[in-house]
Structure 1
Amino acid sequence: MTTLSEEDSAPGQGPLSILTAKEIALSGLAFLALAVLYFHDMVGGEFIFGGGDLISFFIPYRMLWLEQVGDFTFPLWNPYILSGNPLFATLQPAILYPLSLLFIAFPFVLAVNLTVILHYALAGWFMYLLMRASHCGRGAALVSALIFMFGGYLVTVRIYLSTFMPVAWIPLLLLCFFSGLRKRDLRWGLAASTVGACMFFAGGVETCFQMFGLLVVFALWPQGLFPREPVPTWRWRLSYLGAFLAVFFGLIAVQFFPTYELSKLTERAGGLPIGEAARWSMMPKDLLQFLMLDPYGYLTRSEGFGNNQVWLRSLYVGAIPFLLAGLAVFRGGRQAGVCAGVALLSALVAMGPAGGLYSLLHATVPFLDTFRYPVKFILPAVVALALLAGWGWDGFVRSAGSAPTAQNKRAHVWIGLATAGMVLFGLINAFEPAIQSAMQNRGMVPPAYNEVRINLFNSKRLLVFLSLFCLMLFFFLRAERKPRRWLGAALFVLALDLVFSGYGFHHKVPIDDFEATDPLTRFMQTHAGKERIYIADNAERAKDGGIAKVNLRGNLIQGPKVPLPIRTVPGIYQADGWAVMRQNRYLKFRKILRVPPFENRLNLLRLANVQYIVSRDPLESPNLQPVEFHDPSYPELKVYKNTDFLPRAFMVGECRVVADEKHIIAKLLDGRTDFSRQVILEQPPEGFECTGDDNPETPSPHPVGSVADLVLDYGSVTLTATTSRPQLLVLSDAYYPGWTATLDGKDLPLYRANLVFRAVVVPAGTHRIRFEYRPWSFRLGGGITLVTIVLCGAFLLKPKRRHANTNAIPVTPS
């Protein structure tokens, strides 16, 4: 068994015993400096990070919740899209994520950039600490940190903040969880629960799902990772796992309950069919991205990116990490073998149905059928590869002082690999025209592949770095004086390969372009006021099933359907909108807005308080008035004013009770229905008799009274209603659990109206009516979270009990 150095195996200490406070602090500062240098062009305030989902979803949501916090309102509700939709419950705004304080402490653009830079630094730093805590040397820790920090996976996910931010915390989660398990110390388990809660608050539902699954497995089978260490009894392990999960769910309850409530009302409730869930699976050819830089042009050609799966842009780590991981596995330790097995299973699941495992898991594992894009499940393989490479380096360095014969054999292997790489480089260089021609004849050209010349260049690049690395290790084994300088040179080669594989590929947007307001947004900000707008599907969908290209706040976005810039600007009320988590009922309402004939759709838009309609195709109706509007970027866009829209809140004198959703939709699609006189309810209202019948020709009573003093806030609507007889007040805001109504300060039953809107019964007289969003899910979850924090605090303040065995445990870096 390999003996650890005295520095690395202080007996009787915790998992960070080999680390001094000085090394922890200096390593953190070093990784922060490295991240700042990597993104040096993003710290001056001239640019903001851009890219698809970042600019379409994550940045607008942060702008909105900051606006609400600035008005001293907790951001629970988004009143601007889909006639109102939950904001906090969608998880994407990451409102409770601790590092979201950056958006309060710094100007918005700087906060966005610091978010990306800081999480790059945390990813590297936490991986370094994890490897050092597992008794690896500094060089091994640096190897793993560089691979995790600068590998292609983070290049891919940095535009998806809900994935990118929690991924950075994974090494710290593993460190805390397994430290508590090995040392029998619940305090580390509480730390792991806190880290997991941070990951969840950052939006990392899928990340937590994957990592927690592995934690459960290895809590029940710790011998898989720690084969040479004594492990606690199974009862203690179950108790530890139970405490970890209980504290985690207690901490996240304030977010979990609202998110779960929304998830049960979305199109994903009950699970997605495998055809929808398995969209954007990895293909076997995508595995080449680990070894070769940008073989399919995802990084350099946005059009090529769109023609293939559109989530995974890069996985590049190069050949060196695989070489080191091979060393770890070759040494035969169970720890390395299990880790390699995790990587293999991860890759098979990421391939979706083609990998064989995903279909089985989709049908059997709870909640897995609610996730889309199997490609996301490559994450455990990325983490495992970084760990294996670090272990491989550590094993190589520790075995360097072995017998001269064995060391000579190893030296021959390294010089042989270096020579083979240089020979291959020479052959490609010598026969490059012939190789180019052969690749073109085999169809290895865009759009399926990157440019032939680029792929050949990247092939030579791969061989150069691999050869140099092997040569440095050869010199290390043969050097008689200061051999460790050659290890430093090898690390430098690895760092160069990784850093420059993704350097400069981040999408940066000039601030002036990001902050510029497009003509359509300016028009609606001036004219729409408190009324809603509607953007027809044809305005954002490419013609004839092609690919639309849109400049979205300085970002070139393309796809079969892309949002107009107005979608990214809070403050404009819309009857539709872009959101990841949406009520399924409202999606059905939005779908019937596209059902011909147009006059029937216009009747529904009238009901939804739509004053302006944006369309690429011409629209004709006596109630539509063309507006003089022109946007040079969208010359085909047309804007129409609906002169017959209903107010946001209005009175009706008659109702009809229809419990079946299909019949409600049929009634909505009947163009003869006069929504200004009759409302469709799903249950009889208290204090009002519904007398409507099936015949739309039957005259309905004219409504009487008025609505005045309408005040719209983020999570409330207040108005004054005056009527001479009992009537129903219809509010064309989305119905959702948690909305309450009061009349003159007293609770009032709230009803779902016209499939997706709200209605209340108003008695005769003048009354002040208030609608307010006060979800029980948030209050219940908040109470549980508060109790959990108090209990954890009390536990931590108790006198410390010794749970750990103070005897040193021999460790091998297998």
Structure 2
Amino acid sequence: MKSRRLLATALGLGCLAALFLHCFGTALFRGEQFAFRDAGHFYYPLYKVVQDEWAAGRVPLWNPWENGGMPLLGQPTSAALYPGKLLYAGVPYAWGARLYIVAHVLLAVGAMFALMRHWRVSRAGAMIAALGYGFGVPVLFQYCNIIFLVGAAWMPLGLLAVDRLVRLRRRRAIVELAAVLAMQILGGDPQATYVVGLIAAGYAVAIAGDRERVGTPSRRRPLLVTTVIVLGLAAWVGLTIAAGAWLPGLRPEPTQTRPMPVFPWTPYASKALLAAWAVLAVLVAVAWRHSPRGRARMGTLAPLIGSAVVAGLLSAAQLLPSVEFNGLSSRAAQEGSHEIYAFSVEPYRLLELLWPNVFGVSFGVESTWLYTLPPYGSQKVWVPSLYLGGPVIVLAIAGFGLRGGPPGRGLLAAVALIGVLAGLGMYSSPLWYARFVPELAETLGPHDPSMTGPVRLDGELRDGDGGLYWLLSAGLPGFGSFRYPAKFMTFAALGIAGLAGFGWDRLAAGRARPATVTAGAILAITLVSVALLAANSGRFDAFVRSSPMTRQGGTFGPIHVEGARFETTRALLHAAAIMAAMIVLARLTPRRPGLASCAALVLLTADLAVANGRFILTVPQRLLDEGETPRALELIAEAEAEDPADGPYRIHRMPTWTPPSWRLERDPDRVDELIRWERATIQPKYGLLSGVEYTHTEGTAELYDIMFFFAPFQRRLRAEAARVLPYAEPGMDAVIFPRRGFDLWNSRYFVVPRYPDWEDEFRGYASFLPDTTPIYPDPDALDSMSDEGRQRLILEEDFQILRNEDAFPRAWVVHEVRPVEPIEGLDREDRVGRTIELLYPGPGDLFWEDPKLNAYDLTRIAWAEVDPEAPDILRGFVPGGPPSASERVEVVDHRPHRVALRASLDRPGVVVLADTYYPGWRLTIDGEPAPIIRTNHMMRGAAVGSGTHELVYTYEPDSFRLGLIGSAIGLVASLGLLGWSASRPTIGRGSPPPPPSHRP
């Protein structure tokens, strides 16, 4: 027996090693780096900034390189205090980036194995669950979104701690669960923490109720329960459709500042929701006190609340700055301006659980035909597949069960079901389905248009309103701040993979029929699908070829129709082979469980390697090396050598576009080409590797106020504007950016596309053309080029650099201010009115002219928000008049946590610094503390007397200081709880542990 266990363990480790090397061999042994999607242009530069700050002996508190400055520690994605970042210590950064990813994939595998062994699943079943979870695409592909890989890696350990605390009542588990939750918060995935907490609460209520029911007959009536469920679903569908027809009529009328307002109660919804939950908690507590089952539930929930409190304390040093930042970001806006449905999983994509890559693949050679299906090109793909392995799906279905059975099975079944439904996002709402019926669409409105914002311009409800994800976002406090329903597929993967472990043990125990029937049914459906595809290959090709998306193409070129059919055929044949093998395996397992377990592990390993290994994309490390200066920065450096700036400056690089030639031709090395081009044109955040300060970037969250300086709007082009824009016609709509906002924030250079599309916010650079000097391409060189050469430049390079001749300096002096009252809350209308006053360029502007607005000279006047409690703060410092030629402000030191200015004034005035106003910044003038005045809505201002003065801004956030104290308290509390648990291991009367398993 012992030798058999050793053999099984060795085989499991061998399978893990084979998958690990197959997926990560190029990164670990060929010097390549993970750089696809966010792994390259987001996390690689961001984490480099964090590590550089630690290396410089500073806590990474502030990010001065983006959006005029923003918190660094306060961004959860920075994971600045996560202990896992110790992997970067002692190795070159490039190696740290590799190890950080592969270590968390291994953690996901090991944690899943530990969870299943905790529930007494056999070693073979636990390894099947672990491999399916860690190397299934929903987890494996998160190397592109590292914080979610971290959250997924810790998730099984979270459920393990929950079970030990809720079912086994182990006191030590209070600290274990708190540690896991803290790791997820510090690792950058607070949503995973939130959802684990919800799972724990639901599990606690269910377990406590079951514990009180022991020994009492069940009163459940299956027919009655089924009837209630059916009637509830019917009522939900009816109410959702009725709301879709009735609610839009309650919206206020649109105005200039509110193109399509939200509902009148939206600004108060979050406060009302908190109050409703508080009242509900009190009522439930009162009701539970008077029943044994209720008291049991309260006793079970109390330790969970304790774990949550300790987790919050342990992570407070990062959590408090994050809460502060998030409370000022667009996610917390009162009008609900945050998009919650992006990256919903289309229902038909659930076929990917059975057939790997059945819709084709989107890189290398574009062969996906997913975009030919509803919603017709509007799909946003979070992970390119949902495949966890054919054996995992068969065994999960065979092991499924919500009640009874071994411990943990019901919990995982619920997690799987809810994870899938929540992952559907907008597609779980009856509205999306109802709008396919023409008669209902006349009342409810059509489906959401492409690129729809949080509120539809026609005022109708969104397709997803009324669905499960909407319910979570609208009904749970703070949940609406999260994004991307598809992240729930990670929880679904955990549930499905865990059920596969139980399914294997059920199969090994001799119950082969569920697995045999499941595999047989999938095989039959698959073979029929293969036959239908073979018989209708011409129709399939014609269908894919007829789609506008096929002709339009994408980053990886036009869709290869024959390739799409090949990938679909390959997926079906792959699934057929796996299902046939599973039928044989199901017949073999009851007779030869040891041999069958070895065969199952080998089969799953081969399955995952073939199906999912192709999704690990790496590029040569040299494409990211700091030694290679990006082409755009070389050109800017040459321009600066001829005409240097007076001080630091920012660069605005329009966010997302790719050369048009890529849509016209395929390239199997397009991933390398993509990274090379993005780095050369300093797509955010690649410029952080070279110290670039970006004017405006879009990431996971930005300060709500800063966005109003840069948000585009639409204007109808007048004849004089159309004359200066290539390919433009009078009367056409164009995307216009408020150019003055970019000028005001010290934007000396614009990096924009060469090929324009004036109606596209990613290619509509009309606002950046006036009062600029072309740096690249050189206009003289362009004139000497042939038409073919110019066309090649547009199609293949597709970028240009313009120097902004109207850029403001980083800091300047004014002697006149316009006092305004501080804006309270996050209401849009107050902000729009104020920023329109600031940004209106005045008469004569080509793109924005409004005779009802006044233009102000911001070189001589500034808006100053005056605290009503200190109305005299500017008295004597604003004598009026323009600044003199001899007055100047010099930036003498500009570091992340410190900015020093030398200001020379002929008379008192206000020194305006074009850096973000944010809590935690302190100011001294000549060594003496001085107040910071919120100027021009989001800048820092200082009242300064005549003469030469030194102004020093330092970032010393109270949120971090208080967070450190909280973390220290949490650490002490954790040690105390561990000591308490050593003396009395069990809380009250817990369930006795199950007998040791004798399964192989």
Equivalent residue, structure 2, for 1:647: 809
Equivalent residue, structure 1, for 2:416: 343
Cα distance in structure 1, aligned partners of 2:834 and 2:427:
41
Residue by residue, what CA displacement relative to the aligned partner does 1:36-74 show, whole Å, maximum 9, x if unpaired? 453112112521012111112111101111222222121
Q: Is the 8 A contact 2:134 2:140 kept in 1?
A: no
Q: After the TM superposition, which of the residue ranges 783-792 and 628-637 deviates more from structure 2?
A: 628-637
Equivalent residue, structure 2, for 1:312: 383
Q: Is the 8 A contact 2:648 2:891 kept in 1?
A: no
Pairs within 5 Å for 1:203-352: 203-222=188-207, 233-270=296-333, 273=336, 276-300=339-363, 304=368, 307=377, 308-329=379-400, 333=404, 336-337=409-410, 339-352=412-425
Pairs within 5 Å for 1:91-170: 91-170=76-155
Q: Is the 8 A contact 1:52 1:557 kept in 2?
A: no
Q: Give the alignment partner of residue 510 of structure 1, picking from 600, 604, 620.
A: 620
Residue by residue, what CA displacement relative to the aligned partner does 1:449-482 show, whole Å, maximum 9, x if unpaired? 9712221222111111121122133233345xxx
Equivalent residue, structure 2, for 1:394: 505
Q: Give the alignment partner of residue 865 of structure 2, picking from 668, 682, 685.
A: 682
Against the structure 1 CA distance between its residues 454 and 740, is the aligned structure 2 distance closer, same or farther, given a 3 Å change threshold? same
Matched, 1:585 2:709: no
Q: After the TM superposition, which of the residue ranges 298-307 and 647-656 deviates more from structure 2?
A: 298-307
> How many pairs were matched up?
777
Q: Is the 8 A contact 1:94 1:201 kept in 2?
A: yes
Against the structure 1 CA distance between its residues 799 and 324, is the aligned structure 2 distance closer, same or farther, given a 3 Å change threshold? closer
Pairs within 5 Å for 1:392-791: 392-397=503-508, 399-400=509-510, 410=512, 433-437=534-538, 439-440=540-541, 451-478=564-591, 484-515=594-625, 516-524=628-636, 527=640, 530-535=647-652, 537=654, 540=657, 554=672, 556=674, 564-565=682-683, 567-570=685-688, 571-591=691-711, 603-615=740-752, 616=754, 624-627=772-775, 629=777, 635-643=797-805, 645-659=807-821, 661=831, 662-671=833-842, 672-683=855-866, 684=871, 686-689=873-876, 700=882, 702=884, 705-708=887-890, 710-791=892-973
Against the structure 1 CA distance between its residues 742 and 317, is the aligned structure 2 distance closer, same or farther, given a 3 Å change threshold? same
Residue by residue, what CA displacement relative to the aligned partner does 1:134-168 show, whole Å, maximum 9, x if unpaired? 11211111111111011121233220111111101
Cα distance in structure 2, aligned partners of 1:700 and 1:158:
54
Q: Is the 8 A contact 1:607 1:732 kept in 2?
A: yes
- Normalised to the residue count of structure 2, the TM-score between the two structures is 0.70
Matched, 1:47 2:32: yes
Q: After the TM superposition, which of the residue ranges 154-163 and 610-619 deviates more from structure 2?
A: 610-619
Equivalent residue, structure 1, for 2:468: 357
Q: Is the 8 A contact 1:532 1:572 kept in 2?
A: no
Residue by residue, what CA displacement relative to the aligned partner does 1:470-529 show, whole Å, maximum 9, x if unpaired? 2133233345xxx52233112221222123211132111011222243310223356377
Q: Could you tell me which amino acid in structure 1 is paired with residue 819 of structure 2? A: V
1:588 CA displacement: 0.3
Cα distance in structure 1, aligned partners of 2:567 and 2:367:
16
Q: Could you tell me which amino acid in structure 1 is paired with residue 610 of structure 2? A: F
Q: Could you tell me which amino acid in structure 1 is paired with residue 577 of structure 2? A: V
Cα distance in structure 2, aligned partners of 1:25 and 1:747:
66
Secondary structure of 2:917 counterpart? coil
Q: Could you tell me which amino acid in structure 1 is paired with residue 799 of structure 2? A: L
Against the structure 1 CA distance between its residues 623 and 731, is the aligned structure 2 distance closer, same or farther, given a 3 Å change threshold? same
Cα distance in structure 2, aligned partners of 1:441 and 1:614:
40
Q: Is the 8 A contact 1:155 1:314 kept in 2?
A: no
Q: Give the alignment partner of residue 383 of structure 1, picking from 494, 516, 526.
A: 494
Against the structure 1 CA distance between its residues 315 and 754, is the aligned structure 2 distance closer, same or farther, given a 3 Å change threshold? same
Residue by residue, what CA displacement relative to the aligned partner does 1:558-585 show, whole Å, maximum 9, x if unpaired? 999x984464122112222233211111
Q: Is the 8 A contact 1:465 1:497 kept in 2?
A: yes
Q: Could you tell me which amino acid in structure 1 is paired with residue 425 of structure 2? A: G
Secondary structure of 2:985 counterpart? coil
1:322 CA displacement: 2.6
Q: Could you tell me which amino acid in structure 2 is paired with residue 369 of structure 1? A: G
Q: Is the 8 A contact 1:542 1:548 kept in 2?
A: no
Cα distance in structure 1, aligned partners of 2:913 and 2:367:
44
Cα distance in structure 1, aligned partners of 2:609 and 2:546:
27
Q: Could you tell me which amino acid in structure 1 is paired with residue 404 of structure 2? A: G
Cα distance in structure 2, aligned partners of 1:294 and 1:309:
16
Q: Is the 8 A contact 1:193 1:247 kept in 2?
A: yes
1:241 CA displacement: 1.1
Against the structure 1 CA distance between its residues 339 and 624, is the aligned structure 2 distance closer, same or farther, given a 3 Å change threshold? closer
Q: Is the 8 A contact 1:668 1:754 kept in 2?
A: no
Cα distance in structure 1, aligned partners of 2:916 and 2:857:
20
Q: Is the 8 A contact 1:549 1:556 kept in 2?
A: no
Q: Could you tell me which amino acid in structure 1 is paired with residue 320 of structure 2? A: F
Q: Is the 8 A contact 1:567 1:578 kept in 2?
A: no
Q: Could you tell me which amino acid in structure 1 is paired with residue 316 of structure 2? A: A
1:642 CA displacement: 3.5
Q: Give the alignment partner of residue 58 of structure 1, picking from 12, 35, 43.
A: 43
Q: After the TM superposition, which of the residue ranges 231-240 and 169-178 deviates more from structure 2?
A: 231-240
Against the structure 1 CA distance between its residues 645 and 415, is the aligned structure 2 distance closer, same or farther, given a 3 Å change threshold? closer
Against the structure 1 CA distance between its residues 136 and 464, is the aligned structure 2 distance closer, same or farther, given a 3 Å change threshold? same
Q: Is the 8 A contact 2:709 2:742 kept in 1?
A: no
Identity %: 24
- Normalised to the residue count of structure 1, the TM-score between the two structures is 0.85
Q: Could you tell me which amino acid in structure 2 is paired with residue 736 of structure 1? A: Y
Against the structure 1 CA distance between its residues 415 and 675, is the aligned structure 2 distance closer, same or farther, given a 3 Å change threshold? closer
Cα distance in structure 1, aligned partners of 2:135 and 2:507:
23
Against the structure 1 CA distance between its residues 563 and 170, is the aligned structure 2 distance closer, same or farther, given a 3 Å change threshold? farther
Q: Is the 8 A contact 1:163 1:204 kept in 2?
A: yes
5+ residue gaps, structure 2, are: 216-292, 372-376, 429-466, 551-560, 725-735, 755-764, 779-792, 822-829, 843-854
Q: Could you tell me which amino acid in structure 2 is paired with residue 688 of structure 1? A: R
Residue by residue, what CA displacement relative to the aligned partner does 1:70-102 show, whole Å, maximum 9, x if unpaired? 221211111111121221111112111111112
Q: Could you tell me which amino acid in structure 1 is paired with residue 648 of structure 2? A: E
Cα root mean square deviation, aligned: 4.2
1:219 CA displacement: 1.9
Cα distance in structure 2, aligned partners of 1:224 and 1:457:
48
1:416 CA displacement: 7.8
Secondary structure of 1:83 counterpart? coil
Cα distance in structure 1, aligned partners of 2:477 and 2:345:
22
Residue by residue, what CA displacement relative to the aligned partner does 1:772-800 show, whole Å, maximum 9, x if unpaired? 11111111112111111123224434682
